[in-house]
Structure 1
Amino acid sequence: MATSLKSLSDHSSKNIRNVSDRTFGIIVSEWNEEVTESLFSGAYQTLLDHGVKKENIFRKNVPGSFELSLASQWMAQEEGIDAVICLGCVIQGETKHFDFICDAVAHGITNVSLKYNKPVIFGVLTPNTQQQALDRAGGKHGNKGDEAAITAIKMLGF
């Protein structure tokens, strides 16, 4: 969690193994594109910084965060993919839509990870405002994309 004391881009180097031969799928929601493109940039660069080859990073886009669950299932079922990173942003609105979408996506991504016994990482921001989203997508609180990529790397070293 990003706070004034901890950035999403800060991480421990414990359990980081060589992942240069591993393959990663990154699924990016097109909704809130300004935010999700920044999340993707953070995740992609973090993977490269940890030795992942460009040709071992596969990106797919989906219309919104709700579609991350099914897209992650399609990607996770591919034998050549070692870990999947799901990136999205659902900003609180005036209706309960936010609650339903966030709950469904969290459960869906968890279920895919358990079904395929692979890391499927929840890199979805659930802020109250656009500014909070930007603060967590490369702004003053770091980048959730960085955190998601590090989580995937660490889970492969478990």
Structure 2
Amino acid sequence: MATNLHNLSEYDPKSVPSAKGMRFGIVVSEWNHHITGPLLEGAQTTLLKHGVSEEDILVMTVPGSFELVFGAAQMAKSGKVDAVIAIGCVIRGDTPHFDYICEGATQGLAELNTTGDVPVIYGLLTCNNLQQAQDRAGGILGNKGDECAVTAIKMVDYKRRIKG
């Protein structure tokens, strides 16, 4: 569903399993910090709301969105987390740089999910302009960080249930 038809922060809390005892890593891009900062805050707040203790949230920064792939891979390999949330923001500019960064980061994060054993949640905003990013980082469309945290909890629960 298109984000403009659904608020990213609205969900049924009863549909989210308890996250008590789950450990989460968040890799966040320093680039566009005025956007990634609120996304990080949303993810952390939502994790805490669902029972994650502060000690079970590991936050690390990387310089930009392209580096999210390496950061997420290293965090997943560390054995310290049950899921990784990758948070970044790329805003279209005047050159094809946007396309290369978005494609590379997206493919890299997708590959981590198909080859790894730790769910990696896609929290990369790919926006045409600053307003679109602000709308998704706590603005009129909610906070993508909230949605990523809920997804991470559900994926850890899924992995636990499928492995029995």
Category of TM-score, reference length = shorter chain: over 0.9
- Partners of 2:142 and 2:81 lie apart in 1 by 27
SS in 2 for 1:118: coil
1:130 counterpart = 2:130: yes
Return the offset for 1:72.
0.3
- The equivalent of 1:107 in structure 2 is 107
- The equivalent of 1:120 in structure 2 is 120
Return the offset for 1:36.
0.3
- Partners of 2:87 and 2:143 lie apart in 1 by 11
Alignment of 1:25-44 (within 5 A): 25-44=25-44
TM-score, with structure 2 as normaliser: 0.92
Identical aligned pairs, as a percentage?
Answer: 48
RMSD (CA atoms) = 1.2
- Partners of 1:34 and 1:87 lie apart in 2 by 12
1:2 counterpart = 2:3: yes
- The equivalent of 1:50 in structure 2 is 50
Return the offset for 1:86.
0.4
- Partners of 1:16 and 1:8 lie apart in 2 by 15
How big is each residue's C-alpha offset from its partner over 1:5-41, in whole Å with a ceiling of 9 and x where there is no partner?
3101112446522211010000110000100000000
- Partners of 2:108 and 2:31 lie apart in 1 by 18
- Runs of 4+ in structure 1 over 6 Å off: none
Moved more, 119-128 or 106-115: 106-115
TM-score, with structure 1 as normaliser: 0.95
Moved more, 109-118 or 35-44: 109-118
- Partners of 1:10 and 1:119 lie apart in 2 by 22
- Partners of 1:113 and 1:13 lie apart in 2 by 25
Q: Which runs of 5+ in 1 are unaligned?
A: none
Q: Which has the higher helix share?
A: 2
- Partners of 1:31 and 1:136 lie apart in 2 by 16
- Partners of 1:30 and 1:127 lie apart in 2 by 17
- Partners of 1:119 and 1:21 lie apart in 2 by 16
- Partners of 1:60 and 1:128 lie apart in 2 by 26
> How many residues matched?
157
SS in 2 for 1:138: strand
- Partners of 2:41 and 2:23 lie apart in 1 by 17
- The equivalent of 2:80 in structure 1 is 80
- The equivalent of 2:154 in structure 1 is 154
How big is each residue's C-alpha offset from its partner over 1:33-82, in whole Å with a ceiling of 9 and x where there is no partner?
10000000000000000000000000000000000000100000022210
